[in-house]
Amino acid sequence: MNFKNKSNFTTRLNSRLAIGAVALASAVMFSCSKVNEQQPYAKLDPKDAFSNPERIGKAAVGMYDALQNPEFLGGRVLLYADQRGLDANIAGYFTNIGTFDMQSINNFAFNCWSGGYRTINETNFFSINLKENEAVVGPTVAAGYYAEAKFIRALSYFYLVNTFAQTYADQPTAAESGVPLILTAPRDGAEATDPKNKVKRNTVQEIYDQMIKDLTEAAAVLPVKTGDAFADHARATKGAAHALLSRIYLYQGNWAKARDFADSVLLSSNKYELDATPAAAFSAGNYQTSKERIFSVAMNSGDNPNTNNALGQHYGSNGRADVSISKLYRTLPNFDYQTDLRGKPLFSYNINKDNGDTIAFYTKKFFGTSTFDAWVPVIRLAEVMLIKAEALARLNTGAPDAAAVKLLNDIRARAKASVLAPATQAELITNILTERRIELAFEGHGVTDFQRTKRDIPAHGNVVLQKWNGNYTIFPLPFAEVERNPNMKQNEGY
């Protein structure tokens, strides 16, 4: 597979030339208009879009363009998880998300759902049309494109199932407990509105099984590195697939597999390593050179210019400044934010002009070169190291696992934090879970780390305690989708 340079990739990413009927395909999931009366996107027939290698290449980039959806992996889906955690203060703009009292008519839920399934349908539509035109690029190049489609689909399902369904640790095999598993796409508006597309929800187990299948097949084909710095960080690679597999197995509680796939990343010939400082991994100048950032959703100021969507706008003190850092985060055990490099160097402040007091703290993880163009950090090496540490800690039921303690302290050493010496397995696991909060704050792990470990979300501020598998720790399915589809079961309590 021949990945082009950054400028060509970005041009393609913004062109949205690629997949003609994606707007129609998305109607499988929701209906806002008479889709059977619409023309294909950009009026480009799929036969033309897949007629030569260059156009197929542009169509492949279109899948990453879909991944940039500002309501989903353009960043919002990460923010939603953090709003229901403890480390970010509740933002008034995101009404009812952080207070666990959403309704099924909530626009954020609708837009997140539709954004995720638009991305999935784009991967499905691409794969179907590539299959019919495989001879245009040949089987080897096609295999690489299929692998990218599978990676993007699995990534999208990870966030959908963990936003709209209870965690795997709850009842993964319960009927209709997950989200709909869609592996194909309609050809046109008429097919999109066919009653056969009014599908039921699959089980959580079925979604996880498909993610693992997609990523395993993708990893067997994807390159370790492409030779292009932009593509190595913003397109699917073997390391990205293995890293996501390690996270998925962690969520399943399959500690051995989580450890093994973390090792696949740590021992990769790509030679991933921590950046010199925590802040370096989030510097816009390092997005394409960082050895720590395994996969990110690339953005520029033209991709997400709306002040209501960009992560830098919501999290940045010089943007909308909706989401500030909570006192609960600043006072975490083993975290001295005055000296820890994940503290002050990664904080910005709003100051009271009258007395000079700090009135709010904000993260600088999403500054980019402006408040609009920060790349979305999907998975970093620091997370993979902590996944392996947790897996080892849980597998070794005796004394604290020495390798796990070393990984924990390697993360802390980079941040100039004190060395920890847990005395028991339970203390080590607690230390690792706390370290995940310190290290991975504001990167979309807020509520899901509580849910997957069966820990209730403590009462905080005006929020009452939420059971880890309570009705309102997850989003409702959009009312419009349930109303349209009599086979779609709403989440309990909504």
The tally of domains found in the chain comes to 1
Residues 258, 266: Cα–Cα separation, whole Å = 12
Q: What is the pLDDT of residue 353?
A: 61
Q: Is residue 233 part of a domain?
A: no
Residues 226, 210: Cα–Cα separation, whole Å = 26
Instruction: Output the six-digit token pair for 41.
Output: 């996107």
- Chain centroid to Cα 188, Å, comes to 29
Max CA separation in the chain (angstroms): 70
Q: Is residue 217 part of a domain?
A: yes
Q: Is residue 381 part of a domain?
A: no
Tell me the helices (H) and strands (E) count for the chain, helix number first: 19, 4
Q: Is residue 85 part of a domain?
A: yes
Q: What is the pLDDT of residue 44?
A: 67
Q: Is residue 57 part of a domain?
A: yes
Q: Is residue 294 part of a domain?
A: no
- 432: Cβ contacts below 8 Å, ≥ 6 apart: 386, 389, 390, 393, 404, 408
Residues 404, 277: Cα–Cα separation, whole Å = 21
Q: Is residue 265 part of a domain?
A: no
CATH code: domain of residue 161: 1.25.40.390
89: left (phi over 0), alpha (psi -120 to 50) or beta: beta
Q: What is the pLDDT of residue 349?
A: 86
- If one counts every other C-beta atom within 10 angstroms of the C-beta of residue 38, the result is 15
Rg (CA), the chain: 22
Q: Is residue 194 part of a domain?
A: yes
CB of 383 within 8 A of CB of 247?
Answer: yes
Domain of residue 127 covers 6-222+455-484
Mean pLDDT of successive 10-residue segments in the chain (494 residues)?
Answer: 42 37 37 34 72 96 95 96 98 94 97 97 97 97 98 98 98 98 87 84 98 98 97 98 99 98 98 98 96 96 82 92 96 97 93 72 91 95 99 96 98 98 98 98 98 98 97 98 96 97
Residues 53, 485: Cα–Cα separation, whole Å = 39
